[in-house]
Every structure is written in structure tokens, then in C-alpha cells.
Amino acid sequence: MRRITFLLLLLLLSIIAISQTDSTDSKKLSFKFSGFVNLNAILDFNGLDRYDDFTTSDIPINPAPYEDNFRLHMTARQSRLNFLTDYETQYGKIQAFVSGDFYSSNTDQHSYFRLREAYLKYGNLLLGQTNTTFGNPNIIPATIDFEGPNSAPALRNPMVKFEKSLTKGWSYTLAIEMRGTDIEPFSQTIKPFLTMPCFVGNITKAGDWGLITLSGMADITRYFNSDSIADKSFGFGGAVSAIINVCKKNHFSIFIIGGKGVANFTSDLSGLEYNGVPNISSDKLHMLNCVGGFIAYTQYWNNKFSSNIIASFLELEKTDLLEPLDFRYSKYALVNLFYSPLPRIQFGIEYVYGQLTVQNKENGDANRLQFLAQFNF
């Protein structure tokens, strides 16, 4: 209720501010409101105990009897609201963008507003929270599954970003991002902390054939060991994102990621403390190796029907520093069909399969059938 009150108050203040703006200045200000309303119906055959997203790292290894039965769930929490403002000044255009959904928690069926993006953009400079520069999220194919491929770039970070377009389809991006440590603490009171942001850069080449983006990142994680002595570890990694056009709008999408301390950039391992793990014997922080990727094909059958097929994997290093039931690697496969009878209306059906293998080599799998009805505005 407090969140709703806050949103209504924010809207009221915006209206008052606009009404008090002088007529000359108001002509320089424009607004655009967009988003979508959707309903997801999810049928789990076995294995998953999550409501909305298909997360391979959560597949049970030895499922309880209730987890092996058919379960049906419906939700509209993925519905989204976008608000864009353009302000024309004598120095150029300033943009402000805010986007959110109602996917604040996956532990219950309650729906609270969640901020996705909020940034200001002036020329080539962006200040605020948006999709990470490490990898190109624009290559991720359309899925009904809210999680998407297990290895896909998923983080939205606060950042300062500079983008520059060059000639002949070349462009580059440099960013300073705050992504969080996502590392298991040495104890409940002694935790890792960042003394510097994550430095990320990429370079993109685009043409009639498609595009390719090469990305790199580096950061330093400082931490206190069990004796409260400060130390540091380095994280670094690289990623390749590509779209290869076949004919008309049909295309392949390819993504590869790898490095030390990059696990939380991936959709399935983000927030699970797999960037690094304490080495008790040496009293050091060990940054974990992580590698993953996916390949997908998008087919437009005509102007109303389209399909995607995806195969993805994600792997974390094998180490005795992790628990026997901690993540080792996972597989993800998906096929879907979308139907758009009208430009703003879309229906879809999708099958998803996932398999999880843990550090002690035990594994489990899960199957899901999902349906979508969506209206875009």
C-alpha cells in the first residue's frame, strides 16, 4: 500500500511541476508512456519450485514428492511500465527514462513495484541504472520464460557510461559500474567489499550481415579475512555477443562469457554468491572461474508468426572450496511460438527443459510448458 501511495504521490508531483512550468519551457518538454500488460500461465511437469522464472540453478537434485507432480501457476507480475521524458535545451537534448515491473520477489505470489532502469542521458553520456555493458543484452531472443537462457547477461547496474558511434558501423562503450560483490563472506560479520567500481568496455561492429560485440571487465574486491586483516582479489572476464543474419529478419544469436568472478553477470547465478569463495586454509578469497554461452535461432514464418529455439550452458569450476550440493554446471533448452493477430497483441506457447549438475556430480532436471497473452501500449 505504501508503494502505491508513493507512486501516486510521484505522479501528482509530476503533474503539478508540469502545470507550473512556463509555456515557453513546456514546449521543450515531451513525455512518452509505454509498457505492456501480460498474463503467464505456467505448467511444471517436475523439478521446479519457483513461481515465474525457469532457473536451472534451483532445480532440485532429489525432488520431494510434491515437486515431481504437475503444478499450474498464473501471474501478471511481469507487466511493465516505462516513462520517457525528452527535454530540448540550447545545449542539446536531455533524456530521462524510468522502467519498472512488479517482479520484486520470487518467493511468494505478492506483487510489488520493482525498479528496472532509471537513468539520464545527454549526448553520449548516460548516468543511472541500466543493463550492464558486459555483453550485449539486445541479442537475447524473445522468450516467455522471464529468466531466459541460463548464461545470458542479466545485470542492471548503477553506472556512468560513455557511448560513441564511429564510421563504417563501428562503435564503442566505456562504463564504470557498481555491480556488488556477490561473494560468500568469511563469516556473518566479516564480508567482502568493493573499493573500486567495475570497469567495463566493449566495441561493436554492425553491418547488413549482423553485428558482433567484444566486451571486457575488471575489478578489485577487497575483503577482511577471518583475522580482520584487509586483503584483495582481482576479477576479470570477457564476452562475445553476435547476431548473424540469415534472410529477411531470420537470424542466429550467439553469446559466450568467461572469466574469474563473473558469475553474477549471468542470469542463473546472479545473487547466489558464486563470484568467489573463502579459502579457509590460506585465509584468502578465491575468485571462481565461470564460463557459459548460448546459441539461438529466430525464425519469422510470416508477419504474424515467429519462433525461437535456444541451447545454453553455464559452468562453474570444480573445487573443494564449495559444498557438495553447490552449483557445478547446467543446461538449458527452449523452443517457442509467438502469434500476433494485431500489432499490439501477442500470444505465445513455449517448452523449456533444464538440467542441473552439482559439485558432487549428482544431477536433476525439470520441464515446463508456458503460455503468454500480452498487450503492448
CATH of the domain at 167: 2.40.160
| 167-186: average pLDDT | 89
| CB atoms inside a 10 Å sphere around CB 276 | 24
pLDDT, greater one: 273 or 259 = 259
pLDDT in the model for residue 282: 82
Residue 8 lies in a domain: no
Residue 22 lies in a domain: no
pLDDT band at 6 (very low <50, low <70, confident <90, very high): very low
| 15-21: average pLDDT | 50
Residue 119 lies in a domain: no
Residue type, 311: A
Q: How many domains does the chain have?
A: 1
| 183-189: average pLDDT | 70
pLDDT band at 13 (very low <50, low <70, confident <90, very high): very low
* Cell reading at 97: 527514462
pLDDT band at 26 (very low <50, low <70, confident <90, very high): low
Residue 82 lies in a domain: no
Residue 24 lies in a domain: no
| CB atoms inside a 10 Å sphere around CB 321 | 16
pLDDT in the model for residue 226: 67
Domain encompassing residue 161: 40-75+131-376
Residue 220 lies in a domain: yes
Q: CA-to-CA distance for 216 and 200, rounded, in angstroms?
A: 6
Residue 206 lies in a domain: yes
Classify residue 180 by burial, with Cβ atoms within 10 Å: 0-12, 13-18, 19+. Answer: middle
pLDDT band at 8 (very low <50, low <70, confident <90, very high): very low
